[in-house]
Amino acid sequence: MKRNLDLLREILLAVEEYEPARISMLQSISPRDFSGTEAQNFHHINMLVDAGYIKLAGKPTLAGDYAVHGMTIAGHDFLDAIKEQSVWDHTKKRVGEVGSWTLDIVLAVAKEEVKRRLGLALNGA
**Cα–Cα dist 43/48, whole Å:** 9
28 plus 63 within the same structural domain: yes
95 plus 54 within the same structural domain: no
For residue 40, report the phi and psi dihedrals to the nearest 5 degrees.
-65, -45
Mean of the pLDDT values across residues 96-121?
91
Helix (H) or strand (E) holding 55: strand 54-56
* Residue 112 CA, distance from chain mean position: 18
Note the pLDDT tens digit of each residue in 21-68: 555 567 888 889 999 999 999 999 999 999 999 998 888 777 788 888
88 plus 67 within the same structural domain: no
Count of structural domains within the chain: 2
Boundaries of domain holding 108 = 84-117
